[in-house]
Amino acid sequence: MNSILTVHLDKIGQNLQAVTDRLKPKVQRMAVVKNEAYGHGMLPVANYLKDKVEWFCVAWLEEAIKLRESGIENPILVFSVPPKGKEGLYKKYDITASISHLAVFERLKKGTSCHLQFDTGMFRLGMLPEEISDAVAAVEKYSGLNYTGIYTHFACSDEKNHKGVKKQIELFKNIRSHFSDDLMAHTSNSGGIFYYGEETQFDAVRPGVCLYGYAPGEVEIPELSPVIEWTSHLVQVKPIKKGDLVGYGSRWQAPEDGWLGIVPVGYSDGLFRSLSGKFDMEISGSLYPQVGTISMDYSAVFLGSNKFSEGQEVTLLRNGELSAKTWAQKAGTIPYEITTAIKPKVKRKYIGA
């Protein structure tokens, strides 16, 4: 095995507790486990969380069916537009559909549970505020659907005190007032939960990245901690002389004589090539710089004068200074992209359940 991603499920539980500590009484938690739980593995994460949260949210119908077929009984909301021709599957598997487009009303089968999704400023999915009266009429016309919720999604809640969030909340409150009070209302992602107050909570929240231990924006959240460790080993250790040039493009030159370790993790595993020469690996408690261009299957680490044995464990990602947050800063992206990019071929190991 070239590398292993160890997922500490108990830490997901601690992160969920940090979410719960922020909530008003009775606000439901809709854990977002889309895209393999942001790369952590959807089924093991959902199985761990199923008795701890009220709902699950996924991006795609196929993900919801996978959850159902594995025995998950919690209500599940699918964010995407119901795929044409597959509407019957929502009813069959008791999955809640999002009505994010007026055309969806007539496509859903009678008895299907659904949440109305309004676009209050994100300009992605959702009916627009100017479509309220059409939506109200459609709810009346298609009265055979089981309307259970109404929601919107914030564009800028990853920043504290963003005026766009306040604007979206006001708009959402107005939209909500046109529909039955019985609909469960929800707006908050991790940013809404941690960077804003109770005004974003309504009846439920949709935590995603915070469950996996990352702050959604630049402002740190000390109660959260990352839940993964990505480890590999040295497959080769070779001497290197001052001035030797390493890797594709010979982009790194050894500053002194020493030892070079080869690690069997490359961009085909999800280690971004753009991180080449920008991060450290931990070996036996100390940090060593990754050097040279990351290739498809391998990366190199400069060991200085330490001649480690082949097979020596190497840690690429863990909590603290080796976290996905650090990688994200160096690669010019966000932790979400780092963890979802770790390929399925990297074996996941689950502990702490």
Ligand X SMILES: Cc1ncc(COP(=O)(O)O)c(C=O)c1O
CB of 322 to ligand X, least distance (A): 21
Tell me the number of residues near ligand X by CB under 6 A: 12
Residue type, 226: P
Among 153, 162, 176, 325, binds ligand X (CB under 6 A): 153
Closest among 114, 90, 89 to 101, alpha carbons compared: 114
Confirm if 340 and 38 have CB atoms less than 8 A apart: yes
Q: Is 320 exposed, middle or buried (0-12, 13-18, 19+ CB in 10 A)?
A: exposed
The DSSP string of 106-167 is HHSPTT-EEEEEB-SSS-SSSB-GGGHHHHHHHHHHTTTSEEEEEE---SSTTSTT-HHHHH
Q: Is 226 in the site for ligand X (CB under 6 A)?
A: no
Q: Is 56 in the site for ligand X (CB under 6 A)?
A: no
Active site residue 167: no
Closest among 167, 156, 155 to 199, alpha carbons compared: 167
Say how far apart CA 166 and CA 172 lie, in whole Å. 10
Looking at beta carbons only, is 188 or 299 nearer to ligand X?
188
Active site residue 349: no
Looking at beta carbons only, is 156 or 291 nearer to ligand X?
156
**Residue of 34, 38, 151, 336 with catalytic role:** 34
Q: Which residue is nearest to ligand X (CB)?
A: 208
Q: Is 190 in the site for ligand X (CB under 6 A)?
A: yes
Site residues for ligand X, 20-39, by CB under 6 A, read 32
Q: Using CB under 6 A as the criterion, what x/- string covers residues 193-222 for binding ligand X? A: -------------xxxxx-----x------
Which residue positions form the known binding site?
A: 124, 296
Q: Which positions are annotated as active-site residues?
A: 34, 248
What is the binding site for ligand X (CB under 6 A)? 32, 79, 153, 189-191, 206-210, 216
